[in-house]
Amino acid sequence: MDPAKAKKTLDAWLKKRSDAVHRAKRPSNGTPSKHLVKRAELVKVIRFIKELVVATEKHLASCL
């Protein structure tokens, strides 16, 4: 995993998470707003984070 690409991807996901948290509020009445993150995107980010953890653990193991 390329560190620069991983950083850029992680930053983008963290920004999206921040946007979702700060805009989240209960609808006062009527239909709720659409979700900011679709299920397919969520699956992608979970896989990305798992791969990032594996890559980080490999690197740390090689340094110790």
- Give residue 24's pLDDT: 63
CA separation, residue 30 to residues 5, 27, 40 (Å)? 41, 7, 26
pLDDT, tens digit (0-9, with 9 covering 90-100), for 7-60:
999 999 999 888 877 776 666 676 767 777 889 999 999 999 999 999 999 999
Say what the pTM is: 0.72
Task: Output DSSP code: residue 24.
Answer: -
- Give residue 51's pLDDT: 93
- Give residue 26's pLDDT: 65
